[in-house]
Structure 1
Amino acid sequence: MTLSLLGCGDSSTPGLSGTAGSGGAGSFSTTLRHTYDPQMLERAEETSDVCQSWVLGNEEPIYVTKVRQTNEGGWHHSNWFFVPEAAYPPNETAEGPDAQLEGTWRCSDRGFREYLAAAAGGVFFAQSTQALDELQAFPEGSALEIPPRSVIVGSTHLLNITAGPLETAMTMEVEAVPAEEVQVRLTPFSFAIGDLAIPPAVDGVPTRSRTSMMCDLSESFQQHLGENTVDYNVYYVLGHYHQWGSAFNLSFVQEDGSRETVFDIKNKIGEPIGSIIEPPMNNNGAPKLRSECGFINNTDETLRRGLQYGEMCDFLAYTDSNLKIGASGINNREMGVDEEGVAVFETDCGPITGFRAYPDEP
């Protein structure tokens, strides 16, 4: 299980459609801005145990409505979280006496794991694969609440595909609004299919396939919120796959199996695959949530979950449910071929982990 659906940093852990693009439109008013330390990569070098942190130093909550990242290339993917200042203190034994709370450090030196960061605070931002410029934006009146004395921590996966050495940094800008302008505080849902088995090409012809997982959220709503009905709205969705991925779909599923699409996209890596859902979309009582990715495998290998030479099928969604929910797809099963000749695979929903996000809300 992971609460950090877009788990490149933890590779072993296993209506209206949204539109592709930057994740939002309109002007951007920068409230906070930070450029992380540049990272140095040799030709063809890949790194995945590098974390970076930004100390906000906020004495009051920050209500985030937009986050924008830009980078100088080589950023295959990165996941960012807000955590308390005490969550990942410097490890002087491993890092030396000059290590600081803010900066660049080995994730393993401070015991960083994405699912622990998500549980300690929450998901702040997730970068689409190889996107150089990306905006995460929420509908008017909604925001992500960052508690006082928080730190933004990111697990980064970099890959240098240029002809020579590369120095590259990411800059992050935040637009925030006063508390009185916020009617809805958002919380993250995340699914990650851990058990992928994407079939290889046959006689040199790429194989098309799709893999899905579906989770029933009824027990989570009852256990953590005391609600017998699953009721929430989706405000933002970001899908995630790698170079063999070709499509992503997120749908509400009713008890009778009928589906209603929340977000559907066909996009290439390097392009943002997140979108604002405006107006926010209600589940209309559907207790289940289903995610699916399409793949085109042109290799002679069955592709599994992994970093550069593997695939993923994950998503992040922000909702008004007052729940942080994470789940992983397990027990991959081949279901045959659909009417278009696409190989179909399904996975079971593994144990769902949920937390009440805001104790002061019902």
Structure 2
Amino acid sequence: MRTTTSLIALLGAVALFGCSSSDAGPNTSEDELLAPPAEGAGVQYRMVSTLQPAQEIERCQLFVAPPEGLNVNRGEVRFSGGSHHVLLYTTPYTSIPTETRRGVALDASQIHDCNDGPQADWKVTGVIAGSQSPDGDSFMDELPEGVALKVPPGTVLLMNTHYLNSSPGPVETDARINLYTIPDDEVEVEAGMLFHYNPFISVPAHGKSTARMRCVAEHDISIVRMQSHMHRRGVGYVANHVGIDGTMTELYAHDRWEGVPSKEFTPLLELKAGESLDYRCEYNNVEDHTVAQGLTTRDEMCMLIGPYFPRSPAYENCETDDGLSAATWIGSGTTTCAEAFECLSNVPNGDDAETFGCVVNSCANVGPQLSAALNCQMTAGNGACTEACSGEDGDACNTCIGTACAAAMDACQAATCV
């Protein structure tokens, strides 16, 4: 039976994403790939490696940002055929580690395999640039004049590719990311990158499902561009703007999981404090097993990504200024909030597909109450029980959370689908 303390750990596996890959096409010619920025205008990060026949692999390489840092105003990405994404992450490291999170010693400044996803081996804190489209339709593209995403001096960056070679012979891959910069004295506003991630995905075997999440903003921001991310079962995506009065306006919609289009807002999309972004991913699973949220191509993802300003570090990951989740997860089923929690209490520990399914199968009307109760339990009583839950005494943790989350649980028990 799933306990309160195990609910606290439920989102521990939720991290910045890996990705899925598409069939290999002809290698992009050298002329179509990127030349580095002119001296003083930016920096290029590049990964070149060889894939053996029928090989599918994720690879990583760590770099150190220049000692003066970077003020990124524009990003451009190109990669040879056979990949669905190239990404550049930020990390918390101040120097390149000499071993992975799993204790494997290696020279991470060189290209190395990271086939369980980069987060299995390295800590990541955000994303700077990347693309899910071979034509280079990038997350960053160009920011307004005077706006820049800042990379502190000496930041360790992680570049990640995911390739599939479906050809009968070896293939050389080439992926390049250009970051174009502006001087310090030209930066008027710091930008950030939205990275909203819905962990509640469960798609039954030979079935369909929807994952939906809403994220309320605490501060006014201007959104420059928006892009989705799903894996190969994704068949639909819709993002909406939600006004303070609840009015929803469609912003971005498509039916693609690869070659993903981005939506550029001209004029900029103004999201006011108290307003929300609400997005959903629709899935069709033709496999013989349930597919759940996770970091590999065997799993699924549902994300909203895009540059915005001024930077609000908490909202980038759908959190409040106090570090609590600002997410509302909205199910597409028929169970009440109370029934969803009963479902959660009866899921064997470790069965993430069933756990996520308890939320996905709840009805839309109880989304706010279910999310408030889940958030309270998963954050140790919204932080009130951090000390009680930091030791080995599970009973003390559960007792504290039971008290701290009593109001949220009462509201959950009272919430109905009509």
- Does TM, scored on the shorter chain, surpass 0.5? yes
**Do the aligned partners of 1:245 and 1:293 also contact (CA within 8 Å) in 2?**
yes
Write the deviation string for residues 258-293 of structure 1: whole angstroms up to 9, x where unpaired: 2233x3131534424334333221123443321212
- The alignment partner of 1:64 has SS state of strand
Aligned to 2:129: 125
Correspondent of 1:232 among 189, 197, 221: 221
* 1:40 paired to 2:28: no
**Max Rg structure:** 2
Write the deviation string for residues 276-327 of structure 1: whole angstroms up to 9, x where unpaired: 3332211234433212123344455543234334332112222224322325
- The alignment partner of 1:180 has SS state of helix
**Do the aligned partners of 1:211 and 1:294 also contact (CA within 8 Å) in 2?**
yes
- The alignment partner of 2:225 has SS state of strand
Alignment partners' CA distance in 2, 1:40 and 1:253: 46
Alignment partners' CA distance in 2, 1:282 and 1:114: 37
Change (3 A) 1:43 1:305: farther
Aligned to 1:358: none
Alignment partners' CA distance in 2, 1:239 and 1:6: 14
* 1:293 paired to 2:281: yes
- The alignment partner of 2:203 has SS state of coil
> How high is the sequence identity, in percent, across the aligned residues?
19
Write the mapping of 1:1-362 to structure 2, written as runs, cut at 5 A. 1=11, 7-8=17-18, 31-34=41-44, 36-48=46-58, 50-56=59-65, 58-83=66-91, 86-91=94-99, 94-95=104-105, 99=107, 102-105=109-112, 116-118=123-125, 122-128=126-132, 131=134, 133-135=136-138, 136-141=140-145, 142-201=147-206, 209-217=209-217, 221=218, 230-261=219-250, 263-299=251-287, 301-306=289-294, 307-324=296-313, 325-327=316-318, 333-335=331-333, 351=375
**Do the aligned partners of 2:137 and 2:261 also contact (CA within 8 Å) in 1?**
no
Structure 1 residue identity aligned to 2:56: E
- Give the number of equivalent residue pairs: 303
Alignment partners' CA distance in 2, 1:344 and 1:73: 41
- RMSD between aligned residues: 3.9
**Do the aligned partners of 1:7 and 1:114 also contact (CA within 8 Å) in 2?**
no
Please report how far the alpha carbon of residue 213 of structure 1 lies from its aligned counterpart in structure 2 after TM superposition: 1.0
Change (3 A) 1:331 1:239: closer
Alignment partners' CA distance in 1, 2:142 and 2:363: 33
Please report how far the alpha carbon of residue 256 of structure 1 lies from its aligned counterpart in structure 2 after TM superposition: 3.5
Please report how far the alpha carbon of residue 64 of structure 1 lies from its aligned counterpart in structure 2 after TM superposition: 1.0
Write the deviation string for residues 56-99 of structure 1: whole angstroms up to 9, x where unpaired: 3x232321122112112232334322346625322398446xx3
Of stretches 61-70 and 270-279 in structure 1, the one that deviates more from structure 2 is: 270-279
Please report how far the alpha carbon of residue 5 of structure 1 lies from its aligned counterpart in structure 2 after TM superposition: 6.8
Alignment partners' CA distance in 1, 2:75 and 2:119: 23
Structure 1 residue identity aligned to 2:172: E
Structure with the bigger percentage of strand: 1
Write the deviation string for residues 29-56 of structure 1: whole angstroms up to 9, x where unpaired: 65334353423322332224x3212333
Alignment partners' CA distance in 1, 2:50 and 2:71: 33
Structure 1 residue identity aligned to 2:62: S
Change (3 A) 1:247 1:45: same
Alignment partners' CA distance in 1, 2:129 and 2:14: 10
**Do the aligned partners of 2:75 and 2:142 also contact (CA within 8 Å) in 1?**
no
TM-score, normalised via structure 1 length:
0.68
Larger RCO (alpha carbons 8 Å, 6+ apart): 1
Change (3 A) 1:85 1:116: closer
Alignment partners' CA distance in 2, 1:344 and 1:52: 41
**Do the aligned partners of 1:68 and 1:174 also contact (CA within 8 Å) in 2?**
yes
Aligned to 1:21: none
**Do the aligned partners of 2:75 and 2:179 also contact (CA within 8 Å) in 1?**
yes
Change (3 A) 1:112 1:297: closer
Structure 1 gap segments, 5+ residues each = 11-27, 202-206, 222-229, 337-342, 354-362
**Do the aligned partners of 1:8 and 1:78 also contact (CA within 8 Å) in 2?**
no
**Do the aligned partners of 1:4 and 1:123 also contact (CA within 8 Å) in 2?**
no
Alignment partners' CA distance in 2, 1:63 and 1:287: 29
- The alignment partner of 1:211 has SS state of strand
TM-score, normalised via structure 2 length:
0.60
- The alignment partner of 2:291 has SS state of coil
